[in-house]
C-alpha cells in the first residue's frame, strides 16, 4: 500500500473548526509514549509531550505542527545528520540529537521543539554534570542534590508513520485536522475551479 | 464548607465547550475560548465533564499554580504523576490514608461492580479486564480490616426493591416505580421533578445499604463498636461522594459511609503504596458481606438493575423461575429501551434509560399519566456505571465506545461464570434476613435500608 508520494504529506488544522480542546495534543503524546500506548490517563506517568502545539490567541485557536517541508531546512541545518527524509516524512532520530537547537532556529513554523527526556516517569539526566555552584537541592527525589541537568532532544511530528492515520486526525472531535496529500489536493482544487468556471459559462451562455 | 465536588479549574480550561455540550442538565456555561463554570445548584455530579475534559496542565503554558499546589488543592496524593485536567472532582484519598494509619480504627471497604472491570486499565491492562481477585488482594494489602462488596448490597437492593415493586403492583401503589440506585438521577428528580418523587423507590442505593449494614450487622459480627468503624466505598461515580454525605444517611446511628473514593483514586493509592497490582495473586472478598451473585454484579451496566430485578421479581410473583437468565431484551445501549416480559400469565412492562439527557420524554409521559410500564431504570451515565465519572479516564476519544463495551462485556462474563446468578439465592442474603433483618420491607429493613425522598428534599 505504500505508494511513493512525490511531495511529503502533512497534517494541517482548520482554524475555523478548531475549538482548542487539546485532544490532538493528548492523543499525540499518548501514541508517542516509549512504552506501550497508554489507554487511560492513569497510565500517563511521563509529562504530556505532544509533537503539535495548540496556539491560543484572541482570534481563536489552532494547533501548529511540522509541514514536512521539501528539502527541509531543519534537516539541512542539523550538524549531526539526526534529521532525515524517511519515505515522505521528515524524521528526527532522537538518539543522535545533540540538542544544538539549530533545527529549532531553522524551522519557519516553530514546529520543532527541544523537549526534556523522561523514562518511566523519571527525568533522564544528561552526561555533562552541572558546575558545583549550579547544583541545587530538589532533584527528582526530595532532599537529593541535582548534579545533572535533564537531557533535552529535538522533537517533532512524525505524522504517526506507523499508524493507519495520525492520532491527532483520528481523535479530533471537530474533524478540524486532516492529512494533506499535496498532489491530490491540487487536483481537487483544479477540478473545483474548473467546475465553477463551467457554471459561470453556462450562466452567461443562457 | 467542603469544596464543591465537581469544579472546573479556571487556569486550565481553554473554553472548548465540550463539557457544556455533554452536561445532561445544562449546568455548565461559558463563552467560547474562555474558562467555563459549573452551576452547582443544577449540577447532578455525574462527572461526565471530568471524563470528556481535555484541557490539561500543558508544559507549553505557564500557570500561576504549581503542580504540587494543584495536587494539594484537589486532595490528590503528591505522588500522582498523571496530567491534571481542568474539569475535576474533589479528591478524598488523604482521609483514607489517615484512617488506615489509625491503630484503633476498624476500616471496612466496599467496591462497586464497575470498579472490578476498569481498575486494571490504570495498570496497563486492556479495557474491561475483569480483576475482582486482584482488587480484593490490593485492598487487603492496603490494610483494610474487612474487604466487603457493594455487590452483596446490590443483591439486597433487589430483595427490597423487588418486594417494593410487587407490593406497589398488588396494592395499586404509585407506578411506574423508578430505580433509586443512581444518586445523580435521584438528585435530578429531587431538584427538577419533585412532583414525581413518590415514583422513586424508597430503597437506599446499594452503597448506602452496605454502609448501614457494616456499622450494624457487620460490627456486631466482628464484636466491635461501630463508633470505631471507618467505612470507605470505592465507586465508579463522583456523585456517590455527595450521596454518602447526605444528612439523612445515618440509620446506623453514625454516618453510614464515611468516605467515597473513585476507581481512579484507588488506583493512585495502590501506586502510591508501591503495590504491583498486575502481579497480585487473586484473593476473595471477605464473608459474609462480600458474598455476591451474578445479578448483583451486573448493576454496573445499563439495564443491569432491571435484569437483576426481573430475574428475582418474576420468580417471586409466579413461583416459577424465568426460562433463561440471559435477558438480552433489557441489555443494549440505546438511550431509551422498552420491553414487555410475559411469564406464567404475568405481564411486566419496563423502560430503561441510559444517559440522563434521554429521560425528559419518559418523564413527560409519566407526568401526563400515559406511562403504561411498571418499572423504570435510569442511569445518568451513557452506559451505566461502567462509564461513570470516577472511572479511568480514556485517553483517546476514538476509543471511548470500545472501552465502555469492554467493561460491560467484563461484567456480563463475570455474571455468567458465577454459580449463583439470582439475588434471592445469595446464601448470605438469606442468612442476613434470618438472623438480622426479618423479611423484605419488614420493620428493621424499612428502618435501615429505605429512605424518604420527600424528606430529603426538605432536608437538603
CATH number of the structural domain spanning residue B41 = 3.30.70.20
User: Are B314 and B402 part of one and the same domain?
Assistant: yes
Above 70 in pLDDT, residue B2?
no
The owner of cell 475555523 is: A16
- pLDDT, position B459: 46
Residue where a domain stops, chosen among B90, B107, B122: B90
Give the burial class of B92: count Cβ atoms within 10 A of its Cβ; 0-12 exposed, 13-18 middle, 19 or more buried: buried
Gap between the Cα atoms of B376 and B365, Å rounded? 12
Is residue B460 a part of any domain in this protein?
A: no
The band of A2, judged by pLDDT with boundaries at 50, 70 and 90, is low
Give the pLDDT mean for B2-19: 94
Can you give the pLDDT at residue B181?
Answer: 97
Average pLDDT for B283-290: 95
A contacts of B268 (beta carbons < 8 Å)? 42
Element housing B159 (H / E): helix B150-170
Give yes or no for residue A3 having a pLDDT over 90: no
Q: Is residue A108 classed as helix, strand or coil in its secondary structure? A: coil
Determine the longest span between alpha carbons in chain A, in angstroms.
Answer: 86
Does residue B152 share a domain with residue B82?
no
In whole angstroms, give the CA distance from residue B87 to residue B12: 9
If residue B352 lies in a helix (H) or strand (E), which one and from where to where? strand B346-354
| Residue B178, domain member (yes or no) | yes
How many of the other CB atoms lie within 10 Å of CB of A50? 26
Task: Tell me whether strands B6-8 and B87-89 are parallel, antiparallel or unpaired.
Answer: antiparallel
Q: Which residues of B touch A60 (CB under 8 A)?
A: 33
Q: Is the ipTM of this complex over 0.85?
A: yes
Same domain membership, residue B282 and residue B170: yes
Contact B395 A36 (CB under 8 A): no
Question: Angle between the B93-101 and B263-272 helix axes, to the nearest 10 degrees?
Answer: 50
- Check whether A206 has a pLDDT greater than 80: no
Q: What is the pLDDT of residue A45?
A: 85
Question: Cα A206 vs. chain centroid, distance in angstroms?
Answer: 51
For residues B260 and B173, membership in a common domain is answered with: yes
Asked if B18 lies within 8 A of A46 by C-beta distance, the reply is no
Contact (CB<8Å) A21/B16: yes
B57 lies in the same domain as B205: no
Q: Are residues B14 and A20, on separate chains, in Cβ contact within 8 Å? A: yes
- Report yes or no on B123 lying in a domain: no
Mean pLDDT, rounded, of chain B: 95
Asked if B85 is an interface residue toward chain A (Cβ–Cβ < 8 A), one would say: yes
Q: Check whether residue B20 and residue B164 sit in a common domain.
A: no
Q: Determine the Cα–Cα distance for residues B156 and A117; give it in Å rounded to an integer.
A: 52
- Residue B113 domain-assigned? no
Rounded distance between C-alpha atoms, residue B359 and residue B336, angstroms? 8
Same domain? B79 vs B225: no
Indicate whether B70 and B159 sit together in one domain: no
Q: What mean pLDDT comes out for the span A171-194?
A: 95
- Domain identity same for B78 and B198: no
pLDDT at B185 over 80: yes
- Domain-ending residue, one of B90, B118, B134: B90
3-state secondary structure of B379: strand
- Is the peptide bond preceding residue B288 cis, with omega within 30 degrees of 0? yes
Q: Which three cell numbers stand for residue A102?
A: 539549530
Find the range with the poorest average confidence among A43-47, A89-93, B99-103, B437-441.
A43-47
Work out the minimum CA distance from A205 to partner chain B, whole angstroms: 47
Q: What is the CATH number of the domain that holds B208?
A: 3.40.950.10
Distance from CA of A37 to the nearest CA of B (A): 9
pLDDT digits (tens, 9 = 90+) for B68-101: 999 999 999 999 999 999 999 999 999 999 999 9
Is the pLDDT score of B1 beyond 70?
no
Active-site positions of B? 161, 164, 181, 201, 240, 243, 248, 385
Q: Is the pLDDT at B382 greater than 70, yes or no?
A: yes
B160 shares its domain with B70: no
Cα B31 to chain centroid distance, Å, stands at 32
Instruction: Enter the pTM of the model.
Output: 0.94
Residues B85 and B167 in one domain: no
Residue B202 domain-assigned? yes
Mean pLDDT of A125-131: 92
Q: Which DSSP string do the residues of A137-200 spell out, in sequence order?
A: E--SSTT-EE-EEEPEEEE---TTTTSSS-HHHHH-TT--EEEE-HHHHHHHHHHHHHHHHHHH
Q: Do A170 and B398 touch (CB under 8 A)?
A: yes
Q: pLDDT by residue (tens digit) across B336-348?
A: 999 999 999 889 9
User: How many domains does chain B fold into?
Assistant: 2
DSSP run (H or E) holding B95: helix B93-101
Q: Is residue B458 part of a domain?
A: no
What is the pairing mode between strands B229-235 and B259-262? parallel
Domain assignment present for B103: no
Span B351-380, pLDDT tens digits: 999 999 999 999 999 999 999 999 999 999
Assess whether B55 and B157 both reside in one domain: no
The verdict on residue B131 lying in a domain is no
- Mutation for B interface: A26, A32, A39, most B CBs within 10 A: A39
Mark which of B90, B111, B135 sits at the end of a domain. Answer: B90
Q: Which domain holds residue B81?
A: 1-90
**Interval B1-12 mean pLDDT:** 89
Amino acid at each position: 500500500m505504500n505508494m511513493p508520494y512525490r511531495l511529503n504529506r502533512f497534517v494541517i488544522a482548520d482554524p475555523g473548526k478548531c475549538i482548542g480542546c487539546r485532544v490532538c495534543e493528548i492523543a499525540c503524546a499518548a501514541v508517542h509514549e516509549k512504552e506501550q500506548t497508554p489507554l487511560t490517563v492513569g497510565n500517563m506517568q511521563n509529562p504530556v509531550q505532544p509533537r503539535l502545539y495548540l496556539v491560543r490567541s484572541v482570534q481563536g485557536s489552532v494547533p501548529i505542527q511540522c509541514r514536512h517541508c521539501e528539502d527541509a531546512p531543519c534537516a539541512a541545518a542539523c550538524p549531526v545528520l539526526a534529521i532525515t527524509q524517511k519515505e515522505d516524512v521528515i524524521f528526527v532520530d532522537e538518539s543522535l540529537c545533540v540538542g544544538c537547537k539549530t533545527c529549532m532556529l531553522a524551522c519557519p513554523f516553530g514546529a520543532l521543539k527541544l523537549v526534556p527526556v523522561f523514562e518511566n516517569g523519571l527525568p533522564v539526566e544528561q552526561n555533562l554534570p552541572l558546575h558545583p555552584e549550579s547544583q541545587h537541592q530538589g532533584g527528582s527525589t526530595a532532599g537529593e542534590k541535582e548534579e545533572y541537568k535533564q537531557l533535552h532532544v529535538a522533537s517533532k511530528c512524525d505524522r504517526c508513520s506507523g499508524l493507519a492515520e495520525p492520532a491527532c486526525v483520528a481523535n479530533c472531535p471537530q474533524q478540524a485536522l486532516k492529512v494533506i496529500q499535496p498532489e491530490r489536493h491540487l487536483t481537487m482544487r483544479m477540478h473545483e475551479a474548473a467546475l465553477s468556471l463551467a457554471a459561470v459559462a453556462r450562466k452567461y451562455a443562457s | 464548607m467542603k469544596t464543591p465536588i465537581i469544579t472546573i479549574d479556571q487556569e486550565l480550561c481553554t473554553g472548548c465547550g465540550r463539557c457544556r455540550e455533554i452536561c445532561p442538565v445544562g449546568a455548565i456555561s461559558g463563552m467560547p475560548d474562555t474558562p467555563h463554570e459549573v452551576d452547582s445548584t443544577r449540577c447532578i455530579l455525574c462527572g461526565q465533564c471530568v471524563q470528556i475534559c481535555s484541557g490539561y496542565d500543558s508544559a507549553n503554558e505557564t500557570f500561576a499554580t504549581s503542580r504540587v499546589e494543584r495536587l494539594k488543592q484537589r486532595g490528590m496524593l503528591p505522588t500522582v504523576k498523571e496530567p491534571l485536567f481542568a474539569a475535576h472532582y474533589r479528591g478524598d484519598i488523604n482521609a483514607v490514608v489517615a484512617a488506615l494509619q489509625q491503630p484503633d480504627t476498624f476500616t471496612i471497604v466496599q467496591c462497586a461492580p464497575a470498579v472490578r472491570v476498569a481498575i486494571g486499565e490504570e495498570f496497563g491492562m486492556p479495557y474491561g479486564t475483569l480483576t475482582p481477585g486482584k482488587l480484593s488482594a490490593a485492598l487487603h494489602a492496603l490494610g483494610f480490616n474487612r474487604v466487603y462488596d457493594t455487590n452483596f448490597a446490590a443483591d439486597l437492593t433487589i430483595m427490597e426493591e423487588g418486594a417494593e415493586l410487587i407490593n406497589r403492583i398488588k396494592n395499586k401503589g404509585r407506578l411506574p416505580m423508578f430505580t433509586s440506585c443512581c444518586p445523580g438521577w435521584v438528585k435530578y428528580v429531587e431538584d427538577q421533578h419533585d412532583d414525581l418523587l413518590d415514583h422513586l423507590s424508597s430503597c437506599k442505593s446499594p452503597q448506602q445499604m452496605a454502609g448501614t449494614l457494616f456499622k450494624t450487622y457487620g460490627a456486631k459480627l466482628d464484636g466491635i463498636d461501630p463508633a470505631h468503624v471507618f467505612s470507605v466505598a470505592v465507586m465508579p461515580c463522583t456523585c456517590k461522594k455527595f450521596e454518602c454525605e447526605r444528612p439523612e444517611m445515618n440509620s446506623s446511628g453514625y454516618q453510614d459511609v464515611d468516605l467515597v473514593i473513585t476507581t481512579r483514586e484507588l488506583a493512585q493509592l495502590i501506586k502510591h503504596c508501591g503495590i504491583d497490582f498486575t502481579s497480585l495473586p487473586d484473593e476473595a472478598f471477605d464473608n459474609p458481606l462480600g458474598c455476591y451473585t451474578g445479578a448483583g454484579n451486573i448493576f454496573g451496566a445499563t439495564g443491569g438493575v432491571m435484569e437483576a430485578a426481573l430475574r428475582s421479581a418474576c420468580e417471586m410473583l409466579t413461583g416459577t423461575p424465568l426460562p433463561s437468565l440471559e435477558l438480552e431484551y433489557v441489555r443494549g445501549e440505546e438511550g431509551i429501551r422498552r420491553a414487555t416480559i410475559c411469564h406464567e400469565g404475568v405481564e411486566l412492562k419496563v423502560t430503561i434509560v441510559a444517559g440522563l439527557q434521554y429521560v425528559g420524554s419518559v418523564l413527560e409521559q409519566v407526568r401526563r399519566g400515559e406511562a403504561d410500564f411498571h418499572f423504570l431504570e435510569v442511569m445518568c451515565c451513557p452506559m451505566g456505571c461502567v462509564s461513570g465519572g470516577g472511572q479511568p479516564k480514556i485517553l483517546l476519544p476514538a476509543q471511548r465506545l470500545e472501552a465502555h463495551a469492554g467493561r460491560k462485556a467484563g461484567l456480563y462474563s463475570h455474571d455468567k461464570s458465577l454459580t449463583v446468578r439470582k439475588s434471592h439465592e445469595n446464601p448470605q442474603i438469606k442468612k442476613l434476613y434470618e438472623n438480622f433483618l426479618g423479611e423484605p420491607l419488614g420493620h428493621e429493613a424499612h428502618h435501615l435500608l429505605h429512605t424518604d425522598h420527600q424528606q430529603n428534599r426538605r432536608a437538603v
